[in-house]
Amino acid sequence: MLTGLMMDRPLSIPDVIEYAADVHPDRRVVSSAVEGGIHSYTYAQARDRISQLAHGLGKLGVQPGDRVATLAWNGYRHLELYYAISGIGAVCHTINPRLFPDQIAWIVNHAQDGILFFDLTFLPLVKALRPRLPKGLRLVLMTDRAHCPDDCDALIYEELLSGHPTRFDWPTLPENTASSLCYTSGTTGDPKGALYSHRSSLMHAFSIILGAPQSFGRTQRILPVVPLFHVNAWGLPFSAPLSGTELVFPGPRLDGASLFDLMQSEGVTAAWGVPTVWAGLIEEMRKRGKKPDALHSLLIGGSAVAPAMIRALETEFGITVLHGWGMTEMSPVGTVTRPDPSQDIEGRIATSIPQGKRIFGIDMKIVDDAGVRQPHDGVAFGELLVRGPAVISGYYNDDAATAKAFDDEGWFRTGDVAKISAAGDLVIVDRTKDLIKSGGEWISSIELENSASSHPSVTIAAAIAVPHPKWDERPLVAVVLKPGAMVTQSEILDHMAKTMAKWQLPDEIAFVEAIPMTATGKVSKKDLREQLKSHFVG
């Protein structure tokens, strides 16, 4: 082998903000501030404050490799923390505030965080958690002195920056240096940490710009509803500055009306988030009889997007849907749909129902129960495994979880059951543990949910398996009806019979007020099973 004669300059996160300040200095970052009102500044001004923060962190004694935690919404200060912490070689540990307090305390202790930065909103949470947090943990409230309550003894964010130079001499770090840490909110067992690096973050950022080019560029303003506190807001804090895309952060207000108003007043062109958020926006757009004027596309992922949602967005509002699939362990994007501009609406809808094609850097294989590779023919299905430069190679300080997560060839087991077409389109059939096995035949809970939620009276549907004496398991589908809708079980079953075989149809539809959700906005099947326990007997 002959080694190339090229410079070995490492990929580095602070280079991204320095690049944006240099090449896209006037492009803006707009935030709906936690204190109220709108904050707006340019990438050049962001770089200045990030440099000041890096000096401030140094003064606090933060060392390379230290874990610095955040409990914060999507806003400019959180973005600054991303760059300053990783830029000095420390690890930005984002924590999901929607987790149970016990889990948050467990995570802070497992990560051995030295400092916790938190938004004003989370002051009561931090106070309640304090006795369970590590003794030496230092607290920084992400606001200015004027907004700090008298009884709060935390350091003040703005004072940490104040008076420091607006340039920082970033250290040259090996590109595999850890940059950020995010724990999966697994529904079973303790949370597991994905420890990202400068290299993996940049490789992922490049790949999502290539995979979803509609969202990026100097004419675009993107709104990440997907939180900075979970999986790096799907990479947007890096890919937006890289591509000169303006960022619009929604802060704590994520209801349909607040999102609509922010999108309208800030001219948002694209937004990324999980399906539950878009259900709220669709309702609001229906109320107002229009979409936010500049909004042209939504990237939806994190759980399967019901065809009914894609159809509503495309046909009622002319909004293009990009459907994405991924995992915390994959930084997180793995696949995204590629609608073709020449397609008509029906063509675009059909393209967006599967989970899409792999982004550059992700390799995918499906295997049967014996680990034998299955063809990519759109028929054979099995467990999906992945590998790539933005996929974890192990869990943070968790040998037991790491030992189970990879096959003999080093591929990561996703725990999803999938098929892949000859054209490379991924279809997620289910989570391994959510697949329903009835009389020896598999039934996909996602197919059941898509079918039930396409009924015009249904807002959301979720399917689980219930034990059955003859068939081992049978499906049970829980539905939430639209306000004021009147519909019977047999009407929903008749509707589902148009797209599913008779033996796949549920024996019962459970009408419920609400479907339980996880901290990341996905249906919590574990809680749903608990909620519907009474349907299991008899």
Which residues are the active-site residues?
A: 184, 329, 437, 442
Nearest distance from residue 134's CB to ligand AMP, in Å?
A: 26
Q: Which stretch binds ligand AMP (CB under 6 A): 63-71, 248-256, 265-273, 409-417?
A: 409-417
**Mask for 457-496, x = binds ligand AMP (CB under 6 A):** ----------------------------------------
- Rounded Cα–Cα distance for residues 73 and 120 (Å): 10
| SS3 per-residue string spanning 373-418 | ECCCCCCCCEEEEEECCCCCCCCCCCHHHHHHHECCCCCEEEEEEE
Give the span between the Cα atoms of 108 and 138, in whole angstroms: 12
Q: Both tokens of residue 379?
A: 């028929």
Sole binder of ligand AMP in the list 103, 337, 414, 444 (CB under 6 A): 414
Supply the DSSP string of 187-252, one letter for each residue: SSSS-EEEEEEHHHHHHHHHHHHHH-GGG-STT-EEEE-S-TTSGGGGGHHHHHHHHT-EEEE-TT
Q: Does 301 bind ligand AMP (CB under 6 A)?
A: yes
Instruction: Give least dist CB 452 to ligand AMP, A.
Output: 16
Chosen residue from 302, 475, 506, 521 binding ligand AMP by CB under 6 A: 302
**In the complex with ligand AMP, which residue's Cβ is closer, 12 or 414?**
414
| Region from 235-243, 279-287, 302-310, 358-366 binding ligand AMP, contact rule CB under 6 A | 302-310
When asked if residue 75 is in the footprint of ligand AMP (CB under 6 A), the reply is no
State the alpha helices, DSSP H only, in 267-311.
275-288, 307-311
Among 51, 180, 328, 524, binds ligand AMP (CB under 6 A): 328
Applying CB under 6 A, among 327, 366, 427, 500 the residue interacting with ligand AMP is 327
- Residue 523 Cβ vs ligand AMP, minimum distance, rounded to whole Å: 10
CA distances from 514 to 92, 248, 332, 451 (A): 35, 30, 28, 18
Interaction mask 170-199, ligand AMP, x per CB under 6 A: --------------x---------------
Q: Can you tell me the distance from the alpha carbon of 33 to that of 119, in angstroms, rounded to the nearest whole number?
A: 10
CA 131 to chain centre: 30
- Measured from the CB atom, the residue of 328 and 504 that comes closer to ligand AMP is 328
The helix or strand, by DSSP H or E, that contains position 9, with its residue range, turns out to be none
Angstrom distance (rounded) from CA 224 to CA 247: 8
Choices 16-24, 73-81, 385-393, 411-419; region in contact with ligand AMP by CB under 6 A: 411-419
Residue 97 or 324: the one with the smaller Cβ distance to ligand AMP is: 324
Residue with tokens 């840490």: 181
Residues 410 and 444: beta-carbon distance below 8 Å: no
Minimum distance of ligand AMP from residue 446's CB (angstroms): 6
Exactly one of 325, 381, 396, 412 binds ligand AMP (CB under 6 A); that residue is 325
Of 80, 416, 425, 449, the residue at the interface with ligand AMP (CB under 6 A) is 416
Give buried/exposed letters for 449-461 (b at 16+ CB in 10 A, else e).
bbbbbbbeebbbb
Which residues would be at the binding site for ligand AMP (CB under 6 A)? 184, 301-304, 323-328, 332, 355, 414-416, 428, 431, 520
